[in-house]
Structure 1
Amino acid sequence: MDYIQLAAIDKKVSRVGLGTWVMGGWMWGGANEQEAIETIVKAVEWGINIIDTAPIYGFGKAEEIVGKSLKLLGKSYPVVIATKFGLEWNERGEIRRNSSPARIRQEIEASLSRLKLSTIDLYQVHWPDEKVPFEETAYALLKLREEGKIRAIGVSNFSPKQMELFKRGAPLHTNQPPYNLFEREAEKDVLPYCREHGIATLCYGVLCRGLLTGKFNQNTTFPEGDLRRLDPKFQGANFSRYLEAVEKLKPIASHYGKSLAQFAAGWALGQPGVSIVLWGARHPNQIKEALGSTGWTISQEDLQQIELILTQTIPQPIGPEFMAPSKN
């Protein structure tokens, strides 16, 4: 496993991090808590030492699972915990953005309690909330940092313009954009901006919600409540085109002795401006596969072949916009 240094965090961090959205069960057809805990413990034992979570993942469930896992691991492993704030929900499961200072104060205490921590390594704004001035949100995080409740400050799904405004209130250490072989909007401005300004990136969705595992086919269906039932890429002719691209990418991955998932993560790690990729898993065998994502590179010839495949099979790529929560 390759490691990098993250600003404001006194530990080297693995370039593959464990994402825990699926562990919360919400929007992923449920999850098994014991398997999730085992996955986290094994990931850390195998050298993946950054775990990314959020309150909205299962409405607190994923953070609780991370907290239980940390208790099992004890102090023998230097784990970096990244969580988020800024999405609130009601009893009907309706979600809206709220990054007000009052909401931040409420969320930090709830997250610390669920995670069983006194300090969170990386605290991130989950989605930009334009109802609250970004510098006001940033300043509230700066105060938390001064109080020792957090170490590093991050954002997620922020544009360069939004990051500029945010930095008026506090230093910005990380951004978490969606990025994978099929969803590459971040290449236009987010990754270049972060690279230029020394902002580390934790790219989520590296396997494009399982599409880049190569395990789906035209007959694959998803249960009620599964996020992929809402994703246009998994529907009709779109699904066929993406599956065709997957089949054409598999031989290139095999050339490197890699599964398609490992190849997709390795490709992302080789792109300019990418610091860390987040690999979602709910079973130990899924995260074990992630260990083969670092320590190798893709040739220029094969990179060109990948671009040709994508251009020919997916002339009009579909982004991840469907995931954005309400701004109301």
Structure 2
Amino acid sequence: MTVETTRIDGIATPVSRIGLGTWAIGGWMWGGADDTASIATIRNAIDQGINLIDTAPVYGFGHAEEVVGKALEGRREQAVIATKVALEWGDDGIKRNSTPARIRTEIEDSLRRLRTDRIDLYQVHWPDPRVPFEETAAELEKLRQEGKILAIGVSNFSPEQMDVFGRAARLAAVQPPYNLFERAIEADVLPYAKSHGLTVLAYGALCRGLLSGRMSASTRFDGDDLRNHDPKFQPPRFAQYLAAVGALAQLSHDRHGKSVLALAIRWILDQGPTIALWGARRPDQLRGIDDAFGWRLSPGDLADIDALLARHITSPVGPEFMAPPLR
């Protein structure tokens, strides 16, 4: 398999254009996880040339970072680690906190859990309007100058927020939700990234598994799985999205001999300076990664994809339900 790579400003290592997302590996909001399987998944991704591992402290309240650290022991230099900062949790839930004091606490916690002396890409998880963005950015810039992080990113930020943030730190990447079904960034964040030289890490690339092609009307979700609360997975929308997946699968098979999953990832890679984050917690969930590389969608494909989405999804909805509250 020839893995497509890109560059993130500040990181010398070429970065795979598919990254492993580890939210489910943390267990929280995904019905639990098996650490042995998770470690095998991370190592399998590395073996396939997928060197970007994207995680966050809030994924399992430290657990995902701990699992990543265990999986990469002895293999740290084969990976590009991206993690996040500025969410805190307690008895009253999860809240945004991007104060310099919180950042200083979190960087040490993340370095310890990840068993590393540096984080390659450090991203502010959600904008915290109660702290001036320049103040947050300046603290991250200090960490970069100290060598604790190599590159700075933001997640879920608007172009206006990135403009302010960028006055105090060299911004290298932005991580928004982006997939065939959730495309709001095409109006603002994506063109901003293209014009400012930012790499886009698209999270939710398979839209919480909808675009995997493995779901049906009878699919059910266990325990605290967030899809029990995701509007896309509730009637009548679930049927609409499943119908769209079926039509996409037919198009992909007929024109390219590819799965709908490969089509969904290829579509993201064809949109610009993008990396698709592929969430997995078992090695078998990485099957088909190689099918996303080495081909492109034509302008006709893209137009027909847009038409079939408009035909099947009559009441689209975005990922807004995932946003954590302000302090």
TM-score bracket for this pair, using the shorter chain length: over 0.9
Alpha-carbon distance between aligned partners in 2 of 1:293 and 1:230, rounded to the nearest angstrom:
30
Task: Give the match's secondary structure for 1:71.
Answer: coil
The answer to whether the aligner puts 1:278 opposite 2:277 as a matched pair is yes
The match for 2:220 is 221
The one-character-per-residue Cα deviations of 1:84-110 (angstroms, maximum 9, x if unpaired) are: 0111001x3710000000000000000
The match for 1:267 is 267
Alpha-carbon distance between aligned partners in 1 of 2:44 and 2:73, rounded to the nearest angstrom:
14
The match for 2:104 is 105
Alpha-carbon distance between aligned partners in 2 of 1:45 and 1:244, rounded to the nearest angstrom:
35
- Is the contact made by 2:29 and 2:226 (CA closer than 8 Å) also made in structure 1? yes
The match for 2:73 is 71
The match for 1:44 is 46
The match for 1:173 is 172
Shift of 1:6: 1.3
Shift of 1:224: 2.2
Alpha-carbon distance between aligned partners in 1 of 2:281 and 2:265, rounded to the nearest angstrom:
17
Shift of 1:73: 2.8
The match for 2:21 is 19
Alpha-carbon distance between aligned partners in 2 of 1:287 and 1:108, rounded to the nearest angstrom:
30
Task: Give the match's secondary structure for 1:201.
Answer: strand
Alpha-carbon distance between aligned partners in 1 of 2:75 and 2:178, rounded to the nearest angstrom:
30
Alpha-carbon distance between aligned partners in 1 of 2:321 and 2:170, rounded to the nearest angstrom:
30
Alpha-carbon distance between aligned partners in 1 of 2:157 and 2:76, rounded to the nearest angstrom:
34
1:8 to 7, 10, 23: 10
Unaligned runs of 5+ in 1: none
The match for 1:53 is 55
The match for 1:147 is 146
Task: Give the match's secondary structure for 1:206.
Answer: coil
Runs of 4+ with deviation above 3 angstroms: none
Q: Indicate the larger mover: 158-167 or 210-219.
A: 210-219
Q: Indicate the larger mover: 307-316 or 151-160.
A: 307-316
Alpha-carbon distance between aligned partners in 1 of 2:24 and 2:159, rounded to the nearest angstrom:
28
Alpha-carbon distance between aligned partners in 2 of 1:134 and 1:290, rounded to the nearest angstrom:
37
User: TM-score when scaled to structure 1?
Assistant: 0.97
Alpha-carbon distance between aligned partners in 2 of 1:316 and 1:220, rounded to the nearest angstrom:
21
- Is the contact made by 1:43 and 1:288 (CA closer than 8 Å) also made in structure 2? no
Identity of aligned residues (%): 55
The match for 2:286 is 287
